[in-house]
Structure 1
Amino acid sequence: MDTAQSLMSRRPGQRSHVSGPNSALTEFLREKGIDTSGIQALSSARARARNEAAHRRSVAALEAAAAQAAEAPEIGEEIDEDEEIGESSASAARRKKKISKDEDNDEEMLDVEEEEEEEPVRTRRGRASRATTKIDLKVVGKRKRKSTTVKDTESEFEEIEEEEIVTVRATRTRKPTKAQLAKKKAEEQRKLEEDDEFNPDNFLDPAFRPVPGQIAFCAECECRFTVTPYSRSADDGEGLLCHTCGKKGAPAEKAARKKKQTTRTNKKSAARAILDGDTSNVKSLQEICINTVAKYIDDVETLGYIGSHNVDKISQIICKNRRLNGETINLFFEPAEHVLRFYDCSGISSDSLRQIAAFVPTIRRLHLNWCGLMKDECLDYYGTQLKQLTSLELYGAFNVTEECYIRFFKNVGSRLTEFAVKDTSRFKAAAVEALVDNCPELEVLRLHTLTFIDDECVRLLTGLPNLKILEITDSQASIKDGPIIDCLNTFGPGLSELTLNGCKDLTDATLDAIHSSCGRLDILNLDEVDLLTNDGISKLFTEWSLNYGLKELSFRNCTNLQSSGFARIIDHSNRTLEKLTINRCKDIEKDAWTFLQEFTLPELEVLDISFVRCVDDAVIEGILKVAPELKTLKVWGCNKITEACALKEGMLLVGREADILA
C-alpha cells in the first residue's frame, strides 16, 4: 500500500531510476564504446529535413492554387458568404465526417478518377455545377495546422494566416486529341531512349523520400494521396506522383523494359551462336524441319527414311536437350541402318541399349556416349549378334568389366577396325592384350582418360602394324618416351593422326622419333606436354623433308614454345595448315607475327591464339591478309584487341573482351 501511494505521489515530470532490460544490440554498442546519441541526433535531423521538405511542397501547392484562382474569370453563381459562415454545427459535423471518409478512401477515389473522363468539382456544401463552379474558401482567424506526416510527430507546421477570400474556379478539361496523345507518347519515348537506365523509384533522395503510410501531395496534379512502397518519383525528382499520375508512364516504361530484355536476350543468343560456331543468320528449310521434329520428338511415331545425316542431327539435338530415353531411342531403329550415334545415353537402361542389336542387326558403326548404365550382358550381346560391326566407341561405360571386354574382342575378331574407349578404370593391360591378339586389322585406336594405361599397355600396341590413328589422352599413369618411340618405329610410317594430349612425361626424344618415322602424318596434337622445349619443336620442323606438311597442329599450353619455334612451324606447313592451335604459348612475341606476313596460309580455316598477350588489332589485321579462308579466330585473353579491329565478313571472332563486356 505504501509503495502504491509513493508511486501515485510521484510528480509527472519526475524520472524513475528503474530501467528495463537492454537489447543485445545496445549491449554490443556499449561494449564497443559506441555512443548512440550521435545516431539518434542524425535520425532526428533527417526526420526534420523530411518534414520541412513536405511543408515546403504543401505551401507551394497552396500558393499555386491561389495564383490560378486569381487569374481565372468569374463565371457562375457565388456561394453566400453568410450562409457559409453561418453553417450549422450539424452540417459542419457531417461535412467533417465526409472529408475524413474521403481521405481514408483516397486510393479508391484515384482509381475512379482514372476511369472517368471528367468529374465535376464539389463545393463545400456538396453542390456541383455542370459547366463551371465557383468555390469560396474563407479562413477566419488564426489556426495551427499540424504536419500531414503520420509517422513523424516531432515537428509542426507554422501557423497559416489567411484573411482574404480565395476564389477558385474549376472548369471542365477537354479530352486530349489523338495527335496530342501521340506527341506526348513520342516525347516520353524519346526521354526513355536518352537514358535507358533511368529509374524513377531511385531518383528521389532517400533522405527526403516520405515513408509508406504518409500523406503527400502529387507533384503533377497536386492532389493528396497516401504514399505506398510503389509510389513513383516525378521526372524532375521533386516529390512523388499519385497513383493516377504514376500509371500514365507505365506503358512507356513497360515497353522500355521489354525492349531492354529483348536486347539482352538477343545478345545472349548471339554469344551462344558464336560459341556453337553457328554463323548463319537464316536457317534453311531442312534445318527448320529437323529442329521441329526434335522439339516434338515425344509425339513422333516414326522418322522413316530421312538419311543418315539428318538422323544424326536429330540425335544431336535431342541428346543436347536430355530427351533421349527408352522410348525416343526406338525412333532410330531402322532395320537397314548402318550407322548410329547417340551422344548422351545417361537416361537409357542396359536393356534398352541391348535392343539396338535386336532391331538393327546390320549396323556397322556404333557410337555410344555416356553409357554408364551398360552392363556386361549388353556388350556380350553386341559381340554375338552384330555380325557386321566394324567400329565401336564406348564413352563412360564404367560398369563393363575387363573380362567382358576380353570376350567381346574374341567374338568380333579381325573384323573390328576401329575401337574407342573413354572414362573407365576397368580397361587394363589384359584387355589391351586381348585387343591386340584378336583384332590385328585394327586401324583406329582411341584411349581417352583411362586409369591404368601405362608403359606396359603402350608397348603392347606394337602388335598392331596397320594402325593409322592413335590417340592416348589424359592417362592417369605415367607414360615415358620409350614405349611411344617403339610404337612409332613399328607403325609410324603409316600413321596419319597422332594425339598424345596430357602425356606430361614425354620429352624432345618423342619429337625426334616423329621426325624420323612419321612421313605421312597429317594431324599432330601435343597439348599440355610441358617438357617439350622450343629447340625440340624447332628441330622437328627444320628440314623435315619426309613430311610434306601438317593439316592440323596443336601445341596448347606448351609454354616453352617461342617465336623461333613458331617461325619454323609456319615455314614448314604454311601451305597445308587448316587448323592451328597455340593457345597459352605466352612467349611468342610480336616479331613472330611480322615473320608471318612473308607467307601465305591458303588453307587455314581455324586459328586459336588465345592468351598470347602480344596479339593486338594490327596482328589480327595482318593474319586476315595472309589467311583468306580463315573462318574462326579464337582470341580469349587477348585484351589488346578492341572494337576498332577490322574484320572481314563471314569470319567468326570468338573471345574478344569488347564483345563480352558490351
Structure 2
Amino acid sequence: MDRSRRRSNGNAIRGPQSALTDFLASHNISAQQINLDYQQRVRDAEQQAAQAAAAAAAEENKPDSSDEEDAAERKKRKRKEEKAIAKIKASKEFKKRKFEHHRDNPDESSNDDALVQDMMNKPKAPPKPGQFANCDVCEKRFTVTPYTVAGPDGGFLCTKCGKEIKDEKKKADHAAKKKKATPKARKRQTESDRMMGDVKPGAKSLVEHCVRKVADVVNDVEDFGELPQKLLDRLSQILSKKRVLTPRTLQLFLQPGIDRINVYDCAKLESEDFQKIFAFMPDLETVNLRFAGQLKDDSLHYMLEKNHKIKHLQLGATNLISDPAWIDLFQQMGSQLETLKLSELNDAMKDSTVEIMAAKCTTLRRLKMRSCPHMTEASINSISTMTTIEHLSLSVAQDSGSEVLVNLISNLGPNLKTLSLEDYFYADDTVLAAIKQHCTRLKKLRLTGGASFTDAMFANLFWEDWSNPPIPFVDLSCNRDTDPDIGPGEEEAGNPDAVGFGSNAFKGLFQHSGSNLERLDLHSNRHISHEALIEVFDGVKIYPALQDIDLSFVTHVDDVVMSGIFKSCPALQKLTVFACFSINELQIPRGIAVIGIPTAQTAVEVVGES
C-alpha cells in the first residue's frame, strides 16, 4: 500500500518535468547545450582574467626609464606575475591545453612555461553577449548584447554612446545625400529652361534671379510696385508655368496705369476675376488671356463696356463664349482691332460668325485661328477677303482642298510677311506654286503636316528664281510620305514619287535662305538623306545667323552631321535631335544647348582644358 502510494507520488512529481522537457524539446532547447554554453562562458571569463593578470604583470616588468624603482617594487611586481601565472596554471583552459598537448605529442614532455606564455600572448577575444565590456568612448562598464554597436577602436560602445554615434552617422548621411541631390535638381531646372527656350550659357542675370525669387514667395508679396512691363510678363510666365496664378496673385498684376495684361494660365480664375481685370485696367490696349475657360458672355460684354482702347486681343480656350457674343465683339470693336488670335473654341466661331469678323475687322494686320472645329472652307473663303492681313496663321478646316488654299494665298499673298498653314493633309504642289507666284515679302514660312507635297516642288520653290528674299524663320516639319508600309531605311526605295520634303528641297532651302536663316524646324522629315545633310553641313559653308535647329526624327543625323552643324553654324544656340539614334559620341561646344540626347550634358566640351 505504501509502495503504490510512493509510486503514484513519484509519477505526480515526474509529470511536470516531462511536460517541461517536451516544451524545451519543441522549442529546440537542449539542457546539454545550455550547460556547454555555460562552461564556455566560464572558460572565457577565466581566460580573460588570466590575460588581464598577465598584462598587468608585463606592465610591472617594464623597465623604468628613470631607474628609480626600488627592490620592494620589483619584488611586488614579481609577486603579481607569479600570482597571475599560478592563476593561469590553475585554470581549466590551461589544463585542457596541457592535456591536448600530451595527447597529440605523447613522446614530448609538456613545457608548462611555454603554454603559459602562449596563453598570455593570445589576443583577447571580444566579449560575447551576456559578458561585460568597457565602452571605447566613456569607458563605462556595461553588458554586451547582440545589438551593441562596435566602437572606433575595435571594441564596443555602451547604449548611450552607440546612440550618439548612430545619430551622427545618420545626420552625415542625410547631409551627403542632400548635397549630392542638389546638382540633379539644378540640372533638371536647366533642362526645363532649355525646353522653354532659355538657352543662354552661364549664370542667370541678377534680374532673372530676383524675378524667380519673387515667384517663389509670391504668396507673401503684398504689392509688385512699379515694375516694368517686361518683368511683369516674366513673372506671369513663371507663375503660369508653376500653376500658381490664382485670384489672389492676379491682384498683384492689376495696375491702372498699364496698357497690357498677359496671363498665360487662367485655369484657376473665375468669371468675376476677368471682370476685375477690365475694371481695374481701363486703358488696356493688349489683352492676352490663355486657358480662360471661365471667361463667359457677361465678362466679354463687360470688357466691351469698360475697355475702349483694345487693339490686340488674344483669347485661348474661351469655350463658354457664344457666337452672339463674338458677333457683338466684332461689331463694336472690329474696326479698331489690329491683332486677333483665337484658339480652342469648341462650341463657337461658326462660318457665319467668321463672315461678320471678315466684314467688320477692316484694320486687322495679324490673324491667328487654331482648333476651331466649326470653321469650314467657307470660313477660309471669308478670310480671303481680308486684304489688310500681313501675318496669317491658320490651323482650322484641315479637310479643305488645295483650291481654297490657293485662293487664300492668291488674294493675301502679296501683302503677307508671315504665312503659317498647319496640318493641311490634302494640300498639294499647287499650294507651293501659289506661294512662289504671289508671296514676295515673307519673313516667316510654316507649312506642316502635308502628305502630298513633293520634293521636286519644294526644290523648285527654293532653287528657281523666287523673288522672295531669304527667310529668317522656316518650319517645314512633318512633310513626308505617310505610307505605313515603309520601314526604317526604306524611305527612298519606298517613296518612288518623292513625296515630302526631301534631299533636293533641303539643299534648295539653304541655297535660297541659308545666309539669313535664324530658325529652322524640319523634324520628322525622314526623306532627307545622309549625303544631303553632309553636303549642306560640311563645315566649310557658313550660315552666320542660324541659331535654332530642330532635326528630331531625321534618322540620318549622326556624329558626322552633328560635327558639321557645329562648324557651319557659329551662332548656334539650340539644337534639338530627339530620336536620332545614330548619334553616339561627340563633343558639344560650350554655349550650345543640345536637346534630345541623354548624355548631352556630359559631352559638353570644356574650353581651355587640355
Q: Does 1:417 align with 2:338?
A: yes
Which 5+ residue runs of structure 2 have no aligned equivalent? 1-39, 58-86, 97-114, 126-131, 151-158, 481-499, 604-610
Alignment of 1:191-590 (within 5 A): 225=146, 244=162, 247=166, 253-254=173-174, 256-278=176-198, 279-425=200-346, 426-473=348-395, 475=396, 478-559=399-480, 560-590=500-530
SS at match of 2:335: helix
- The question of whether the paired residues in 2 share the 8 Å contact of 1:443 and 1:469 is answered with yes
Determine the C-alpha separation between the residues in 2 that align with 1:577 and 1:536: 20
- The question of whether the paired residues in 1 share the 8 Å contact of 2:327 and 2:353 is answered with yes
Q: Which residue of 1 aligns with 2:7?
A: none
Determine the C-alpha separation between the residues in 1 that align with 2:242 and 2:215: 9
C-alpha displacement at 1:460, in angstroms? Answer: 0.7
Determine the C-alpha separation between the residues in 1 that align with 2:565 and 2:302: 53
Give per-residue Cα distances to partners, 1:222-259, cap 9 Å, x unaligned: 965169xxx99xxxxxxxxx995994965665455344
Larger Rg belongs to: 2
Q: Which residue of 1 aligns with 2:533?
A: 593
- The question of whether the paired residues in 2 share the 8 Å contact of 1:556 and 1:585 is answered with yes
Determine the C-alpha separation between the residues in 2 that align with 1:434 and 1:568: 41
Q: Which residue of 2 aligns with 1:628?
A: 570
Give per-residue Cα distances to partners, 1:289-310, cap 9 Å, x unaligned: 2223323323333223221111
Determine the C-alpha separation between the residues in 2 that align with 1:412 and 1:646: 55
Determine the C-alpha separation between the residues in 2 that align with 1:455 and 1:661: 51
Determine the C-alpha separation between the residues in 2 that align with 1:497 and 1:64: 94
- The question of whether the paired residues in 2 share the 8 Å contact of 1:335 and 1:359 is answered with yes
Q: Tell me the number of residue pairs that the alignment of Structure 1 and Structure 2 aligns.
A: 474
Alignment of 1:51-62 (within 5 A): none
- The question of whether the paired residues in 1 share the 8 Å contact of 2:362 and 2:386 is answered with yes
Give per-residue Cα distances to partners, 1:166-219, cap 9 Å, x unaligned: 77699978769xxxxxxxxxxxxxxxxxxxxxxxxxxxxxxxxxxxxxxxxxxx
Give per-residue Cα distances to partners, 1:426-461, cap 9 Å, x unaligned: 111111011111111111111111111211110111
C-alpha displacement at 1:637, in angstroms? Answer: 1.2
C-alpha displacement at 1:657, in angstroms? Answer: 3.0
Determine the C-alpha separation between the residues in 1 that align with 2:41 and 2:379: 92
Q: Which residue of 2 aligns with 1:616?
A: 558
CA RMSD, aligned part only? 3.9
- The question of whether the paired residues in 1 share the 8 Å contact of 2:594 and 2:600 is answered with no
- The question of whether the paired residues in 2 share the 8 Å contact of 1:574 and 1:599 is answered with no
Q: Which residue of 1 aligns with 2:30?
A: none
Q: Does 1:658 align with 2:599?
A: yes
SS at match of 2:542: coil
C-alpha displacement at 1:538, in angstroms? Answer: 1.1
Q: Which residue of 2 aligns with 1:148?
A: none
- The question of whether the paired residues in 2 share the 8 Å contact of 1:440 and 1:463 is answered with no
Give per-residue Cα distances to partners, 1:103-147, cap 9 Å, x unaligned: xxxxxxxxxxxxxxxxxxxxxxxxxxxxxxx999747999xxxxx
Determine the C-alpha separation between the residues in 1 that align with 2:133 and 2:400: 95
SS at match of 2:575: strand
C-alpha displacement at 1:492, in angstroms? Answer: 0.5
Structure 2: which amino acid aligns with 1:589? S
- The question of whether the paired residues in 1 share the 8 Å contact of 2:425 and 2:451 is answered with yes
Determine the C-alpha separation between the residues in 1 that align with 2:509 and 2:45: 85
- The question of whether the paired residues in 1 share the 8 Å contact of 2:588 and 2:600 is answered with no
Determine the C-alpha separation between the residues in 2 that align with 1:539 and 1:64: 99
- The question of whether the paired residues in 1 share the 8 Å contact of 2:43 and 2:92 is answered with no
Aligned-residue sequence identity (percent) comes to 26
Determine the C-alpha separation between the residues in 2 that align with 1:333 and 1:174: 68
Give per-residue Cα distances to partners, 1:338-371, cap 9 Å, x unaligned: 1111101111111210122222111111000010
Q: Taking structure 1 as reference, are residues 587 and 364 closer, same or farther at Cα in structure 2, changes over 3 Å only? A: same
SS at match of 1:526: strand
Structure 2: which amino acid aligns with 1:367? N
- The question of whether the paired residues in 1 share the 8 Å contact of 2:215 and 2:235 is answered with yes
Structure 2: which amino acid aligns with 1:574? G
Q: Does 1:74 align with 2:15?
A: no
Determine the C-alpha separation between the residues in 1 that align with 2:93 and 2:593: 77
Q: Taking structure 1 as reference, are residues 333 and 527 closer, same or farther at Cα in structure 2, changes over 3 Å only? A: same
C-alpha displacement at 1:68, in angstroms? Answer: 8.8
Give the stretch that moved more between structures: 540-549 or 395-404: 540-549
Q: Taking structure 1 as reference, are residues 572 and 651 closer, same or farther at Cα in structure 2, changes over 3 Å only? A: same
Q: Which residue of 1 aligns with 2:15?
A: none
Structure 1: which amino acid aligns with 2:567? K
Which 5+ residue runs of structure 1 have no aligned equivalent? 1-59, 78-133, 143-162, 177-221, 233-241
- The question of whether the paired residues in 2 share the 8 Å contact of 1:345 and 1:370 is answered with yes
SS at match of 2:146: strand
Q: Taking structure 1 as reference, are residues 513 and 171 closer, same or farther at Cα in structure 2, changes over 3 Å only? A: closer
- The question of whether the paired residues in 2 share the 8 Å contact of 1:503 and 1:528 is answered with yes
Q: Taking structure 1 as reference, are residues 601 and 138 closer, same or farther at Cα in structure 2, changes over 3 Å only? A: same
- The question of whether the paired residues in 2 share the 8 Å contact of 1:452 and 1:477 is answered with no
Q: Taking structure 1 as reference, are residues 283 and 456 closer, same or farther at Cα in structure 2, changes over 3 Å only? A: same
- The question of whether the paired residues in 1 share the 8 Å contact of 2:287 and 2:314 is answered with yes
Structure 2: which amino acid aligns with 1:472? L
Q: Taking structure 1 as reference, are residues 534 and 70 closer, same or farther at Cα in structure 2, changes over 3 Å only? A: farther
Structure 2: which amino acid aligns with 1:649? R
Structure 2: which amino acid aligns with 1:650? G
Give per-residue Cα distances to partners, 1:474-494, cap 9 Å, x unaligned: x36511111211111111011
Q: Taking structure 1 as reference, are residues 583 and 64 closer, same or farther at Cα in structure 2, changes over 3 Å only? A: farther
Structure 2: which amino acid aligns with 1:658? T
SS at match of 1:404: helix
Q: Taking structure 1 as reference, are residues 303 and 658 closer, same or farther at Cα in structure 2, changes over 3 Å only? A: closer
C-alpha displacement at 1:542, in angstroms? Answer: 2.1
Q: Which residue of 2 aligns with 1:151?
A: none
Determine the C-alpha separation between the residues in 2 that align with 1:137 and 1:384: 109
Q: Does 1:637 align with 2:557?
A: no
Alignment of 1:113-262 (within 5 A): 138=92, 225=146, 244=162, 247=166, 253-254=173-174, 256-262=176-182
Determine the C-alpha separation between the residues in 1 that align with 2:453 and 2:578: 24
C-alpha displacement at 1:69, in angstroms? Answer: 8.6
C-alpha displacement at 1:64, in angstroms? Answer: 11
- The question of whether the paired residues in 2 share the 8 Å contact of 1:500 and 1:525 is answered with yes
C-alpha displacement at 1:324, in angstroms? Answer: 1.9
Give per-residue Cα distances to partners, 1:588-627, cap 9 Å, x unaligned: 1221123213532111110111122222222112112111
Q: Which residue of 2 aligns with 1:96?
A: none
Determine the C-alpha separation between the residues in 1 that align with 2:250 and 2:442: 38
- The question of whether the paired residues in 2 share the 8 Å contact of 1:69 and 1:166 is answered with no
SS at match of 1:658: coil
C-alpha displacement at 1:574, in angstroms? Answer: 0.7
